Structure 1
Amino acid sequence: MHKEGERLIPINIVDEMKTSYIDYSMSVIVSRALPDVRDGLKPVHRRVLYGMYGLNVFSNRKHLKSARIVGDVLGKYHPHGDSSVYDAMVRMAQPWSLRYEQVDGQGNFGSMDGDPPAAMRYTEARLKKISDEILADLDKETVDFQNNFDDSLTEPTVLPTRIPNLLVNGTSGIAVGMATNMAPHNLTESIDAICAYIDDKEISIDDLMKHIIAPDFPTGGIIYGYDGVRDAFHTGRGRIVLRAKVNFEEIGNRNAIIVTEVPYQVNKAEMIARTAELVKDEKITGIYEIRDESDRKGLRIVYELKNDAIPNVVLNLLYKYTSLQTSFSVNNIALVKGRPEQLNLKNLIHHFVEHRHEVIVRRTEYELRKAKERAHILEGFMKVIGTQDSLDRAIAIIRHSANPQAAKEGLISEFELSEIQAQAILDLRLARLTGMELDKIRAEYEEIMALIKDLEDILSNEPRRYQIIKDELLEIKEKYGDERRSEIDYSGGEMSIEDIIPDEKVVLTISHAGYIKRTLLSEYKVQSRGGVGNRGATTRDEDFLEYIVTATNHEYLLFFTEKGKCFWLRV
């Protein structure tokens, strides 16, 4: 029985599921899993940075307990689990996760072996210097603010970043029905490419790629082959093959493969454990021992080889079966005006430049308004205390007034001042009435008028605004630019069968009945116990060997049929 006055609306369950699920998926897409194309941040990262900005934990202040920062972000802007905030902040501080870290962590923030970070009550954090640039000009009304979840505070909808953050740090996220996976790039190269775009808006993607050559991963490694990079830059999707950086050494009397850089996002400990399993199962042969000799000076994994192993063949087996070679599938999906879009390199640069342009216009308008307000007050000062006579009249009015309100009205009618100017006069300290201070006021007024003229010129002159964007970017490049870490091997392609089969000498025997057999030359010469005949020459009853050929594994064999056709096969 339903109660009196209750209205029940019957709804088809299919329709209800559809609308609810679409609402949910839109919420995940827009406010959780995908980054904004302008500042390259997802809401949780933006809130962590803004929360730290609010707590004043800048790069030149001392570290603050992580729990304090997480609590602040949680209580003010991000009403979800504390682990979601802390995990995001931890990743922002890991040099192997971000190409340019945004948080400066103190304490245990995890490791490349997948070790978890210490609990947030033990660690401390502050902003990195580069994050000051992501938050620069936030107080100058450069971006829109929105109410937080309980309408008690406001938070920025996007940050006015000077860093092309989406390009340089990349991102990955899984939404509903779509995902994003964007590679990190080198800051120096990215800024060169953006400046080239500002100089020529019609520039082709191939020309941009002369500046920004390929992704640049925080863990270094080698980008193997260039086709995937080209696809990713041109279409926003592509598969980039990454290999570890490897060299060969001799340790004692054994050869060893030494790994000094692993592909991006590879868990080093898991990789070593998996390799050990493969060696045990004899999937990978030729390895005698594996050691992890990494320390604070850098990464070093040693694969010691057996005496008869061929280093290149073992290495190719490692590439084939373990994460010494992985692939990074680029899928550039970001929010453009709140809608997910797939973007190529030029689109990414275009949206960043547009954002910077809007920030500069809004910053200039704000500075102009402030300058005009100050000029208005200075004009009032000069009217009232500009000459000895006017100053004496003003002092007389103030002295003979019964209360501040009357004094203000007296000044307004005597000197034709505005309300604001009159209040500023009443707030003046007596020390400002000396001759020297008056000169200062005149000088400041001249300065402000020059500034106003300059700001108005910026607002009326588009080429000048783009020049400012370039100048600010070049300053960033000067401060934070560095060498690229990932090398590019242009010759790389798909691995072929030859890479994992040693090119050894073999003997081919063909019998009268047409049986064909391949035997290693080294084995062929060894007699079995009993010493009758050769290993490779055992035949069936009443069959005998007709041909014996020596060759090497990588050579080709041609077969001619009785119909005159020819087939080939690798030895």
Structure 2
Amino acid sequence: MSSDANDANAPAERIEHVRIEDEMEQSYIDYAMSVIAGRALPDVRDGLKPVHRRILYAMHEMGVSSNTAHRKSSSIVGDTMGDYHPHGGSAIYDTLVRMAQDFSMRYPLIDGQGNFGSMDGDPAAAMRYTEARMDPLAEELLKDIEKDTVDFSSNYDDRLQEPDVLPSKVPNLLLNGSSGIAVGMSTNIPPHNLGELVDATVHLLGNPDCTVEDLMEHIKGPDFPTGGNIVGRDAIYSAYATGRGRLRVRAEYEVDPEEGRIVISELPYQENKARVVERIADDVNEGKIEGISDLRDESDRNGVRIVVELKRGANIDVVENRLLDHHLESTFGVINLALVDGQPKVLSLKESLQHYIDHRREVVRRRSEYDLAEAEDRAHILEGRLKALENVEDVVELIRNREDRDAARTGLQESFDFSEEQAAHIVRMQLGSLTSMEAAEIEDEYEDVQNTIDYLESVLNSREKLDSVIADELQEVKDDYDDDRRTSIIEDEGQVTHEDLIPEEDCVVVITEDDYIKRMPVENFDPQNRGGKGIIGADPKENDRVSKVFRANSHDYLLCFTNQGQVYRLKTYEIPEMSRTARGKSAINLIDLDDGEELTAVVSTDEFGDDECITMVTRNGYVKRTCCSEFENILSTGIIAAKLEDSDELIDVDVTDGTGDLVIATEAGMTIRFSESEVSEMGRSARGVNGIKLQDDDKVAAMVATDDDDPRSLLTVTEHGFGKRTKLDEYRTQSRYGKGLIDIKTDDRNGRVSTAKAVTDEDHLVIMSEQGQIMRIRAGDVSQVGRNTKGVTIMGLEEDDRVASVTVVPAETE
């Protein structure tokens, strides 16, 4: 084959065949490691990312220190970009700006002059308008960098050298924290108090076997620049022990009940103040937070001040809890991830401080070696000068008789056994150095240098001595820069729950035959005179009617019994609160009701006592008692409360203790009173026993639990809005399963009995009609008469309307 052919095939022979997935995998790994190690994660030793380190080193090289004039930010950015960080100028400037913001950095490293942004999210002015210089604390990060304390590498174009890490006289990783997102990982390290960090580091220096708990005796927790409160200590310990944790950070605020206001003085870290105020205002306008009349941002350069003015009568606890839940509390997710020997690693508190200590030991060792070499060189020169002074006449004579300096230097080496460095120095000496006073100063300096050499050798030869140097220098930094902690640690009293956001109040719950349900505050309905028509309390859809109304506290757990004998558990506040004219929400969204299943009775579990029972009565007159403990664990799909015949329904429920009497009222106006002890306690699946012997077409309307000392009256209300009260002691006790006594006349005027309740004169009645009219009256306004009477008008109804239900608001809740 010719040489031309060989030349043509040469490029092909250099082609390497690789699988594309292998090349993609390797390229992505290379990119990921570049981002991880060269951009997004801080070094555990100085706590800086490359861009932070390069900005500070560029300023150091420019001579822009804390005691010089400010320099244009654009100049600093330009030098950093041109010499060390070949990326966009805006990215460098954004970093410089953040290092100057006292609300972003616990200890700012840049002293800025001009507009460097605000907590409201306002951006900094353009770099051509702002000026900057190093903060004194930043100089502590760079101190001794010229003494070969850290390694240097070539910059991006090999023109200059830049430090791989700064000497860092302070543990900056934990001091100012860091945040960043790399490929497949992120870091989020909170800032800390300098004094606490120094104390913990010194403690670890002297006690290498100490635990995280020991270190937390010194470091109470993160210390955010914006103050605020960290809720609970367990999360702090978890973050320090494992390197990961979730801290609840709460705003600092003061509740002033007398003035009716909440004043916010500190916000959680990294919260945008203007955005917080805006979100609160939005929630007020949308009705999510009620009770706020005014919202003002009175913040100035002295700090945050947001004033929340409350309406008269507003529930201040509920407003406070709603603000906490949505606006004044946030979560800070701690991920203590940093580069250790170029590799990302999640670190505990002890590991972070230990790596810093190891770094400082290396820095102090290298600095001591550098200073020792300098001191030894100086001592060697001083030894030569002292030797020259001892032979001053001969030395001067030799130098005068030589042709030039090189010859004089060679002669001194040969005649007096000087080293080359000593001879060169002596040749350059001035005659004034040969005076007796100068000789005394040289001897004093030589003694000082020898002391320095002895000290540096002791530092290098003793770990204990070296550690004491580190501790002393840390203490110096603490003395110069320590300040008070800004963030408080408060006890965890539990997170704000949905229940905390609901005011505790008495409610009226309305249910329709088609199972629409809603709640309304009782206070929405003012008491009226007996015989009135009431006001609209519900707006049932066509062919639907109100079937039940009952009173409950908004924080009660309710047992909801249905006509089919099932029982469900529900929190009152889970029932949607709606206006008087609203139809309500389908109960199937809250309770898993079957077709034809309706809620007929409700009791609050707060009424349960030891050894009490749920006593139930059915439409056909069966009565049963079941221990309350059998209703403790209720599934979301409900459980059986009573086994019913096909034609029967559960009609009423009460909580009893087994020692009193039961009064059963029927739709035909009959009542029977018998001892509760005649009804044995039985299981949930039992049908029960006969309670009253019903006449043809009669059905049970209600049941009341009472005893011999009960001062209350039995209120009986008919479907046409008439009713009466009769003292309970007028109903004599009979045997169970009797016909009972006549209670009220159920003629055409009265209609059939709708319900019966036990009431006092001071109780209030909330009466609901099938068409949604609601009326609240005082029970004492209903005449108290004997049995077997017609009663009086309680509520005026339209011709085709009927009383659906009555509930009692006890006098003690008024």
TM over 0.5, shorter chain: yes
What residue is the counterpart of 1:277 in the other structure? 282
- Flag the 1:468–1:20 CA change in 2: closer, same or farther, 3 A: same
Q: In 1, distance between residues paired with 2:514 and 2:382?
A: 112
Q: Does 1:429 align with 2:416?
A: no
Deviation at 1:480, TM superposition (A): 1.0
Question: Quick check: 492-501 or 426-435, which moved more?
Answer: 492-501
- Greater helix fraction, Structure 1 or Structure 2: 1
Structure 2: distance between partners of 1:60 and 1:158: 24
Residue number among 103, 117, 127 corresponding to 1:96 in the alignment: 103
Deviations 1:431-465 (A, max 9, x none): 10111101111111111112111111111111111
Q: 1:526 & 1:87 partners in 2: Cα distance?
A: 65
Pairwise CA distance, 1:567: 6.2
TM-score, structure 1 as length reference: 0.92
Corresponding residue SS for 1:470: helix
CA offsets per residue over residues 332-384 of structure 1, 9 Å max, x none? 11000000000011110110111111111111111111110001111111111
**Alignment partner, residue 57 of structure 2:** 50
Contact 1:380–1:422 (Cα < 8 Å) also in 2: yes
Asked if 1:290 is matched to 2:287, the reply is: no
1:483-562 to structure 2, matched below 5 A, reads 483-507=484-508, 518-525=519-526, 531-533=532-534, 549=551, 551-558=552-559
Match of 1:367 in 2: 371
2 CA distance for matches of 1:158 and 1:45? 11
Alpha-carbon distance change, 261 to 147 in structure 1, aligned in 2, over 3 angstroms? same
Cα deviation digits, residues 101-153 of structure 1 (max 9, x gap): 00100011111111111111111111111112111111111111111111111
For residue 322 of structure 2, the aligned residue among 317, 321, 327 is 317
Cα distance in 2 between the residues matched to 1:179 and 1:380:
59
CA distance in 2, matches of 1:563, 1:332: 58
Match among 118, 131, 141 for residue 124 of structure 1: 131
Instruction: Give, in angstroms, the shift of residue 181 of structure 1.
Output: 0.6
8 Å CA contact retained: 2:513, 2:544: no
1:328 aligns with 2:335: no
Q: Is the partner of 2:74 in helix, strand or coil?
A: helix
Q: Is the 8 A contact 2:508 2:520 kept in 1?
A: yes
Structure 2 letter corresponding to 1:282:
G
User: What residue in structure 2 maps to residue 191 of structure 1?
Assistant: 198
3-state DSSP class of the match of 1:248?
strand
1:376 and 2:380 equivalent? yes
Amino acid aligned to 2:189: M
Q: Over residues 481-539 of structure 1, what are the superposed CA-to-partner deviations in whole Å (9 max), with x where a residue is unaligned? A: 111111122124322122100011234679999998744221243569x9414766999
Aligned to 2:262, what secondary structure does the other structure show?
strand
Tell me what 1:416 maps to.
Answer: 417
Alpha-carbon offset, residue 570 of structure 1: 3.2
Structure-2 residue corresponding to 1:468: 469
In the TM superposition, what are the counterparts of 1:378-417 in structure 2 within 5 Å?
378-386=382-390, 390-417=391-418
Distance 1:162 1:41 in 2: 13
Query: 1:405 and 1:495, CA in 2 relative to 1: closer, same or farther beyond 3 A?
Result: same
In 1, distance between residues paired with 2:248 and 2:408? Answer: 78
CA distance in 1, matches of 2:564, 2:429: 112
Match of 1:68 in 2: 75
Are the structure 2 counterparts of residues 112 and 511 from structure 1 closer, same or farther at C-alpha, using a change threshold of 3 Å? Answer: closer
CA distance in 1, matches of 2:447, 2:168: 32
- What do the CA deviations read for 1:261-317 (whole angstroms, capped 9, x no partner)? 111111111222233222222222322232211111211112222334222212222
Q: Does 1:227 align with 2:234?
A: yes
Query: How far does the alpha carbon of each residue in 1:207-255 deviate from its partner, in whole angstroms, 9 at most, with x for none?
Result: 211211111100011112333222111111111111111113479xx72
Which residue of structure 2 aligns with residue 176 of structure 1?
183
Does the 8 A contact of 1:518 with 1:536 survive in 2? Answer: no
- Mean Cα deviation higher: 29-38 or 187-196: 187-196
Structure 1 residues 561 and 226: alpha-carbon distance in aligned structure 2, compared to 1, 3 A threshold = farther
The normalised TM-score by structure 2 is 0.65
**2:358 partner amino acid:** E
Which letter does structure 2 place at the counterpart of 1:187? L
Amino acid at match of 2:476: E
Contact 2:512 2:544 in 1 (8 A): no
Q: How far apart are the structure 2 equivalents of 1:349 and 1:542?
A: 72
* Paired AA for residue 342 in structure 2: G
Q: Hey, what does 2:585 align to over in structure 1?
A: none
Amino acid at match of 1:224: V
Residue 307 of structure 1 corresponds to: 312
Q: Give me the whole-angstrom Cα distance separating, in 2, the residues matched to 1:141 and 1:542.
A: 90
Higher relative contact order (CA closer than 8 Å, sequence separation 6+): 1
Instruction: Look up the SS of the partner of 2:350 in the other structure.
Output: helix
Is residue 257–residue 316 contact of structure 2 (8 Å, CA) maintained in 1? no
Instruction: State which of 34, 37, 41 in structure 2 corresponds to 1:30.
Output: 37
Q: Distance in 2 between matches of 1:541 and 1:356?
A: 81
SS at match of 1:92: helix
Task: State percent identity of aligned pairs.
Answer: 48
Residue aligning to 1:112 = 119
Q: Tell whether the 8 Å contact from 2:260 to 2:309 is kept in structure 1 after alignment.
A: yes
How far apart, in 2, do the equivalents of 1:544 and 1:102 lie? 71
Distance 1:128 1:541 in 2: 75
Q: Secondary structure at the match of 1:126?
A: strand
8 Å CA contact retained: 2:73, 2:131: yes
Match for 1:21 among 28, 53, 74?
28
User: Number of residue pairs matched?
Assistant: 561
Paired residues of 1:45 and 1:88 also in contact (CA < 8 A): yes
Task: Between 26-35 and 61-70, report the one with greater CA deviation.
Answer: 61-70
Alignment pair present for 1:39 and 2:43: no
RMSD over aligned Cα atoms = 2.8
Separation of aligned partners in 1, 2:74 and 2:22: 43
Structure 1 residues 122, 537: closer, same or farther in 2, change over 3 A?
closer
CA distance in 2, matches of 1:232, 1:563: 53
Give the Cα separation in 2 of the matches to 1:454 and 1:173: 43
Q: Which of these residues, 202, 210, 216, is aligned with residue 209 of structure 1?
A: 216
**How is 1:146-185 mapped onto 2 (pairs within 5 angstroms)?**
146-185=153-192
- Find the counterpart in structure 1 of residue 19 from structure 2: 12
The structure having more radius of gyration, on CA atoms, is 2
Distance 1:213 1:184 in 2: 12
